[in-house]
A = this chain, B = another copy of it.
C-alpha cells in the first residue's frame, strides 16, 4: 500500500508529514471553514453539494479560498484518485476540506483577508467500527450542559472548526454514559444538533427534525428528505423539545460518515420500545440501496 497523500497549499505531502504553521489562523483564530464528504463504493457522494456549501460558508466567513468551486472540485477528485488505490474494495474514505485565511501574526493589526488562504484536502479511511453497534441497537442520546450558541452569535450553518463548545458538550454527556452521543439544545431549550450531525424523530409515522435556524443544513439531512419523499413518508421541520424525544417512536442522527445512526435511549429513558424502529430501518435500507453499499455490513467489517 502506498502512502496516503494530503493536498496542502499546492503540494502533495504524506498525511503523516502534513503540518501547518502554528501561526495559521486555523490555530490562532479557529478560523477554519470545512466540509466532510464520503465515498460509497469509492465514489465521492454529492461532492459538488459539499463544495457548494463550502463556498457559502466562505462567503459568510468573509474570506475566500483562492480558487473557484470548479477548481476545488477538480483538485479534490485528483486527491482521491491518488489515494484511492490504498483503499481495499468494500472500504470507503472520508474526504475532508479545511480552508483557513492563512497565517495570522498577532499584534500586527492584519486582517485575515490579507494573507493567502491555507487549503487542505485530506482523505482518511472511514472506520465505522465505532458506530457498528449503534446501527444494530441504537445509541444513547444525551443533552449536555452546554447549549449551542444562538445564530446571532454564530450561525450553525457556517460549517467551521471553532468547535470548542461542541467538543465540551461531547465530553459532558460521557458523564451519563461512556457511549452517549450528545444532542445539544439551543439557549431556548429546543433541540438543535449533535456535534457533527442532525437529529430526527419519528412519531406516528411522521418524520420530524429541527429547522436549520439552529443547526447545520446537513447534506445527509437533505438525503433523508429525499428518501422520505421516495418512500412516501411524511417529513417536516419544526421546533422540537426533549418531551418530543421522550414520547417519540423512533429517533436517529444523520452525518456524513455513518449516514444514519439510530438512537434508542434519551437521557436515560427508552425511546419507543427501545429497539431500532421500522422507519429508521427502512431509511437505512433505502440509503444502502441508493449508494450500493450496505451500511451495516460495511461498518461491521471495519
Contact = CB atoms under 8 A, between A and B. Distances in A.
A31 B153 contact: no
B145 A130 contact: no
A22 B285 CA distance: 35
B19 A163 contact: no
Contacts of A269: 59, 62
Contacts of A112: 167, 171
A6 B29 contact: no
A243 to B, nearest CB: 4
Contact of A257 (B98, B106, B170, B174): B106
Contacts of A27: 20, 24, 26-27, 32, 98, 161
Interface string A86-116: 0000000010101000000111110111000
Interface residues of A, number: 91
Contacts of A189: 147, 150-152, 187
B130 A106 contact: no
Given A147-B189, A176-B176, A168 B61 contact: yes
Within the oligomer, what is the number of copies of this chain?
6
B120 A106 contact: no
Interface in A242-267: 242-243, 246-247, 257, 267
Interface stretch (A43-51, A74-82, A121-129): A121-129
Contacts of A185: 152
A257 B150 contact: no
A220 to B, nearest CB: 14
A73 B170 CA distance: 30
Given A36-B106, A257-B107, A165 B149 contact: yes
Interface string A126-151: 11101100000000000101111111
Contact of A29 (B60, B154, B164, B190): B164
Given A22-B6, A107-B130, A151 B62 contact: no
Closest 10 CB pairs of A and B: A152-B189, A109-B130, A19-B19, A162-B164, A30-B30, A149-B149, A162-B162, A155-B243, A149-B153, A30-B162
